Amino acid sequence: MSNSRTADVSLNETRSHDIPETNVWKDFLSLIKVGIVNSNSITTFTGLWLALFFTNQSFLGSLDTVFFTMFGSALVVAGSCAINNYYDRDIDHLMERTKNRPTVSGRMNANTALWTGVLLITVGFVALLMTTVTAAMIALFGAVAYIFFYTMWTKRRYTINTVVGSISGAVPPLIGWAAVDANLSVMAWVLFMLMFIWQPPHFLAIAMKRCEEYRAAGIPMLPVIHGFAMTKRQMIVWVVCLLPLPFYLYELGTGFIILATLLNIGWVALAFSGFKIKDDIKWSKLMFVYSLNYLTIMFVSMVIFTLI
């Protein structure tokens, strides 16, 4: 009996060490995937800023629009992520990066997570209605695409899940633009395409790094089903498709076109290097890091070049 009790105590201690220290606020941030909320806020703001700039509207004179746009879009994204966590709680324990989410550990009740998501989306939608109906409807479409088309339909069934998920991830700059100008210009749609094309190579890099975890969870990511070679070829195709996009943003100036083109060429070169680098996981990590820096530099520079 004493040996049994000792084993139980040791097991409990091991489990307690596996679960990081947390609190209600940290659990909430984990539920809404705050990193995704923050990155989407950057692209939303860029769309909003460019719309203000190219329609000759004052930023300071539009602070109410700025507030409702940023607040509303962040809540819609957060709510969508919360519902994603609610739905995926049955498989998240199988993956290292998701096993400690509050919906998996039991620190948060499943229904609480679900209704938190619904509430956040509702409040965010209402906030965006304070800008334009178009912005609110685009945000709602993004939420529907992420929750139903990606999370519930394609994620566990098809390797094209990454492409489907990219639709929702590409709408934030459209939301930002539409909040200022409901008549979406060509530039607004180029921002959408930039985000849409950027996501598959970004998430496929993650899928390569976490291939065995996705396999264990039964998620048919491309590297799981078709292997690394096929995944690399598809990543190259997506990255190459980014090459012409900066030229559609010529109104931002020659400096931006040069910077964006250099970033694109650098990514294309890194993508092709995947057939020379023997360590696939190391290469996928390089692709992942480059993609994060690419997105940040690209969208921040758009704002900067309007100030020069």
Enumerate domains of the chain plus CATH numbers. Answer: 24-307 (1.10.600)
For 125-184, the DSSP string reads: HHHHHTT-HHHHHHHHHHHHIIIIIIIIIITTT-TTHHHHHHHHHT-HHHHHHHHH-SS-
CA distance 35 to 78: 10
R_g of the chain computed on alpha carbons: 21
In eight-state DSSP terms, residue 230 is H
pLDDT in tens, 102-160: 988 889 999 999 999 999 999 999 999 999 999 999 999 999 999 999 999 999 999 99
**Tokens standing for residue 58:** 């004052």
What separation in angstroms does the CA of 140 have from each of 31, 81, 82, 165, 264? 19, 13, 15, 15, 31
pLDDT of residue 195: 98
Q: At what angle do helices 34-54 and 186-209 cross, to 10 degrees?
A: 160
pLDDT in tens, 269-306: 999 999 999 999 999 999 999 999 999 999 999 999 99
CA distance 78 to 72: 10
pLDDT in tens, 185-224: 999 999 999 999 999 999 999 999 999 999 999 999 999 9
CA distance 15 to 24: 20
pLDDT in tens, 222-235: 999 999 999 999 99
Residue-level length of the chain? 308
The 10 Å CB-count burial string (b at 16+, else e) for 192-224 is: bbbbbbbbbbbbbbbbbbbbebbeebebbbbbb
Q: Given pLDDT bands bounded at 50, 70 and 90, which one contains residue 18?
A: low
Phi-psi region of 132 (alpha: psi -120 to 50; beta: other; left: phi over 0): beta
Q: What is the pTM of this model?
A: 0.90
Q: How far is C-alpha 307 from the chain's CA centre?
A: 27
CA distance 127 to 140: 12
Q: Is the pLDDT of residue 22 over 80?
A: no
- Tokens 């994204």 correspond to what residue? 77
Backbone angles phi, psi at 170, to 5 degrees: -95, -5
CA distance 118 to 112: 10
Q: 10 Å Cβ neighbour count for 275? A: 11
pLDDT in tens, 77-89: 999 999 999 999 9
pLDDT in tens, 38-97: 999 999 999 999 999 999 999 999 999 999 999 999 999 999 999 999 999 998 888 888
Which strand (E) or helix (H) includes residue 224? helix 222-240
